[in-house]
A = this chain, B = another copy of it.
Amino acid sequence: MVLVNGAFIDSVKANDRGLMYGDGVFRTLRIVNGVPLHWERHYLRLKRDCDAIGIVCPEIECLTRELDAVHGDCVAKIIVTRGVGARGYLPQVCSEPTRIIMTSPLPAANFREIRAHLCTLRLSHQPRLAGIKHLNRLENVLARSEWREDDVPEGLLLDIAGNVIEGTMSSLFLYSSGGLIAPDLSLCGVDGVQRERIFEFSSGNGVPMEIRSFGIDFLKQADEVFLVNSVIGLWQIVEIDGMIWQKGPFCENLRNWLQ
């Protein structure tokens, strides 16, 4: 199913700035029995990301109404672009922002513990775009192109300084000595809804959380390493490039809490 600006059409204008410049933002969320999970949180992130690049975010009522057209269990992707504009980078004479809602089947594979690929592509530092789930995702495409093994569902991304940042489509956390550690995303990376939920788990359950920069050597020392996103839930990483972590009880508990 594809809805563009509320209509059941599956195409957008070729001069939409979303296509011409990647000038837009998106969210991906899980729909269960027609209900979008954590919708309000996703909307707040969508709006925050729109605000960050100066796009007028559609009202929540509008998107909620459009999401009503989605039934059953699936993945919904919501894209908001700056809209159709004249040639040129200046976002001066734009139409209304374009809203796109498209659904796809839930992923077939259901992992719990995974092997991850260590990506050679390094994320660039752009503080003006860090944290934002925007449509400029060529780094992710190039990183995800580095491996094809079906049993390696995710890759680990470092930044150009060697800091461990995230998965190509997921947020990364470490659990060590009874506390959680999250990568600093002030220079790159995507700050998603499930990351926010892990912060809430931390404060609600008395598990200390530290946000910091760290490299591969620090990652190696962690008791448990895991990835979260709104579609996959939680994947514990048990191997990256010969580095091994044991399956751990913390991830098991956290997975249950997330569900």
Contact = CB atoms under 8 A, between A and B. Distances in A.
Contacts of A142: 53, 128-129
Given A121-B128, A138-B134, A87 B100 contact: no
A14 B80 CA distance: 12
A168 interface: yes
Contacts of A91: 141, 144-145
* This protein's copies in its complex: 2
B14 A145 contact: no
A215 to B, nearest CB: 18
A83 B100 CA distance: 18
A20 to B, nearest CB: 7
Looking at A53, A87, A139, A145, the one whose CB has the most chain B CB atoms below 10 A away is A87
A210 to B, nearest CB: 26
13 contacts: A10-B13, A12-B19, A21-B135, A22-B136, A53-B142, A89-B141, A89-B168, A92-B148, A121-B128, A124-B125, A126-B160, A129-B142, A136-B136
Given A10-B14, A88-B144, 19 more contacts: A2-B14, A11-B12, A11-B14, A14-B79, A18-B19, A19-B81, A19-B135, A20-B77, A22-B135, A22-B138, A53-B138, A53-B142, A82-B141, A91-B144, A121-B128, A124-B125, A124-B126, A136-B137, A136-B138
